[in-house]
Amino acid sequence: MSYKNAKNILPPKLLEELQNYVQGETIYIPQKEDMRAQWGRKSGTREVISFRNKEIFQKYNEGLTIEELTELFCLSHESIRKIIYKLKI
């Protein structure tokens, strides 16, 4: 994250108003919610994990044990259990 001098980017009236609240400090201005992408959306990771989790649940319903799924998907017993219980609901 790079820092910008407010004097160089804000209108003078807005800068004066901000100075009523904070002076000489660093503040963070978050992006608008609609501008922020959710985790994994841009890279496609979210969809890949969702597909994998559905596959785990399907194989569990077909009779594979949690131990077999841990070996097949290289995940911990706890991770497999959480995925199954989350999708059961």
DSSP symbol at 13: H
Which residue in the block uniquely carries the two structure tokens 């969702």? 50
- pTM here is 0.58
Residue 29 pLDDT > 90, yes or no?
no
pLDDT tens-digit readout, 55-76: 999 999 999 999 999 999 999 9
- The answer, yes or no, to whether residue 40 has pLDDT greater than 80, is no
**Predicted confidence (pLDDT) at residue 1 exceeds the cutoff of 80:** no
- Hey, where are the domains in the chain? 6-88
Percentage of residues in the chain with pLDDT exceeding 70?
A: 94
The residue with greater pLDDT, 31 or 48, is: 48
Q: How far apart are CA 41 and CA 5, in angstroms?
A: 32
CA distance 71 to 73: 6
Decide: 15 and 7 in contact? Cβ < 8 Å.
yes
